[in-house]
Amino acid sequence: MSLKTIRSKADLAINGAPPAFAEPLHVGRPNIGDRATFLQKVNQILDNRWLTNNGPMVQEFEKRIAENLGVKHCVAMCNGTIALEIAIRALGLEGEVIVPSWTFIATAHALYWQGITPVFADIDPATHNLDPDAVRRMITPRTTGIIGVHLWGRAAPINELQAIADEHGLKLMFDAAHAFGSTYKGKTIGRFGSCEVLSFHATKAFNTMEGGAVVTNDDKLAEAMKLMRNFGFQGYDNVIHPGTNGKMIEVCAAMGLANLETLDKVIAVNRLNHTAYTKALANIQGISVLAYDPKERNSYHYVVIEVDNSCAVSRDQIVTALHAENILARKYFWPGCHKMKPYSDLYPYAKSMLPNTIQVANRIIVLPNGITITTSDIYIIGRIIAQLAAIK
Ligand code: T4K
C-alpha cells in the first residue's frame, strides 16, 4: 500500500518526500502457490527419503510439464542455464552460434562456457526478438546453429528462423526461459526447433525456486540429455556418455507441482495488472507499454515500458526516481550482452551491427508485476511516472 498521494512534483521522493512504499516492490518477486500443498509434498519427500537423483516428484513434474506443453519429453534440470548448456552440447553445436545480444547473459554464457563463440545478431525493435535478416548477415562458414530467444514470452520469428536453419544446414534451438505456456500461431512453445529450454527460476511467472528443463519431441536428444544431466550414468557403475550434474532436486519439483495448480490465477493477476499499467501510463508523452498479442497466450509476467526521446525525462532519471520510491524497476537487459565481459573485449565493434539492440537497451524499463502487486500500487506508479514526465 502506498504511503502518500502524488499531486505534484513536490510529492516525489527525489524531491525530499517520503518514499511511496515502505517495503520494496520487486520485479520478479516470487509467486508462491498454495503453501499447504507444497508443505504436504515436502513431507512426502522426507517420508520417502528420496531427495534427488530422478526421484518420484521429479518424474511426476516432468510428466505434467510435457502434458501441459504437448511435447513428448521434458528433461528437468537444476536451472535454465545448465539446461541451455546441456541442450547445446547434446545438439553438438560448436564453432559459432548466432544469438541475440538482447537477452539475459546466460544465453551467451552457456555457449562461451563451452568454448563456442556467441555471435550477436540484431533484433527487430518492434518485437525485441531476433531479426531474421540480421541473422542471415551473421552466418559464416563456422556457424553451426541459431538460438532464438522468446523474449518477454513473445515468440521469436520461429518459421523464418527455421527456414534459415534449413537453408544453411544449421541447428535451431530456443531459449524459452520467459515463455512457459506462451503460444506461437496458437501452438504452445516447447515443440519448436530441435528443442526449447525453460527456466523455472524464482523470479519467473512459474517457478520451482531454482530449476529449468529442456523440452523436445526428439527421442534421441532427450535420451542423450538425460544421460548428460547425470554424469552419463546408465545404471550402477556404468558411464556411457560424458556428463555433468544437472539434476533437479525433489523439493524443487514439489514447488513446481504446487505452483502449477495456481498458475492460471497468477496469469490472471498479471494480465489484470498489465492492463492497469497500460491505462495508468496512457497519454504520457514518450512512454509506451509493450503490448502482448491478444490472439496468443502469454504469462503477462513482464511489464516492459519504453521511454523515447520525446519524454521530458530520461529512462535513467525515471529508474532513479522509482528506486527512491522503493519501486525497484529494472533495466533488463541493458546494456546488451555485447557490452558485458568477455564479449565487450571480443567484439569491440559489435555496436555497428546492433543499432536496434542499442536503441531498445537505452529505452527500456521493466516494472514490478506478479501476485504481490495490486492495481492500487500500479495507480501510484503511474502517478509518479506521470509527474516525472510532466513538463512543469
Ligand atoms: N535465458 C533467459 C532469457 C533468462 O532470462 C534467464 C534467466 C536464463 C536464460 C537463465 O535461467 P536460470 O539459470 O536463471 O534458470 C534474474 C534471475 O536470476 C534469472 O533467472 C532471470 N533470467 C533474470 C531475468 O533475472 P537477476 O540477477 O536480475 O535477479 P535478482 O537477484 O536481481 O532478483 C530480481 C528481483 O527479484 C530483485 O529485486 C530481488 C527479487 N527476488 C529475487 C529472488 C531470487 C525476490 O524478491 N525473491 C527471490 O527469491 O536475475
Q: Encode pLDDT of 96-126 as tens digits.
A: 999 999 999 999 999 999 999 999 999 999 9
In the chain, pLDDT over 90 holds for what percent of residues?
97
Ligand 1 pocket, 17 CB below 6 A?
no
Render pLDDT for 293-313 as a digit per residue (tens, 0 to 9): 999 999 999 999 999 999 999
pTM of the model: 0.98
- The answer to whether the CB of 106 is under 6 A from ligand 1 is yes
Is residue 1's pLDDT more than 80? no
Q: Ligand 1: which atom is nearest the Cα of residue 328?
A: 38
pLDDT for res 2: 81
Closest by alpha carbon to 226, among 37, 388, 36, 72? 72
Q: Are 192 and 311 in contact (CB under 8 A)?
A: no
> What's the pLDDT score for residue 190?
98
**pLDDT digit string (tens) for 314-331?**
999 999 999 999 999 999
Tell me what pLDDT residue 48 has. Answer: 97
CA distance 194 to 176: 13
Q: Please write down the HEC assignment for all residues of 23-92.
A: CCEECCCCCCCCHHHHHHHHHHHHHHCCCCCCCHHHHHHHHHHHHHHCCCEEEEECCHHHHHHHHHHHCC
The dihedral region occupied by 259, where left means phi > 0, alpha psi between -120 and 50, and beta the remainder, is alpha
351 in helix, strand or coil? helix
Confidence of residue 287 (pLDDT cuts 50, 70, 90): very high
C-alpha cell at 120: 550477436
Distance 201 CA to ligand 1 centre (A): 7
Cβ of 52 less than 6 Å from ligand 1: no
Which grid cell is 29? 518477486
pLDDT in tens, 260-273: 999 999 999 999 99
User: What does R_g of the chain's alpha carbons equal in angstroms?
Assistant: 22
pLDDT of residue 351: 84
Mean pLDDT of the chain: 97
pLDDT tens-digit series, residues 185-218: 999 999 999 999 999 999 999 999 999 999 999 9
Q: Give the model's confidence band at 350: pLDDT under 50 very low, under 70 low, under 90 confident, else very high.
A: confident
Tens of pLDDT, residue by residue over 156-170, are: 999 999 999 999 999
Looking at residue 241, its pLDDT comes to: 93
Q: Per residue in 70-95, pLDDT tens?
A: 999 999 999 999 999 999 999 999 99
Q: What is the mean pLDDT of residues 278-284?
A: 97
Mutate to test the pocket of ligand 1, among 154, 201, 248 (most ligand atoms within 8 A of CB): 201
pLDDT above 90 for 239 = yes
Distance 212 CA to ligand 1 centre (A): 13
d(Cα 50, Cα 267) in Å, to the nearest integer?
32
Q: What per-residue confidence (pLDDT) applies to 66?
A: 98
pLDDT band for position 391 (50/70/90)? confident
The alpha carbon of 280 and the centre of ligand 1 are apart by a number of angstroms equal to 26
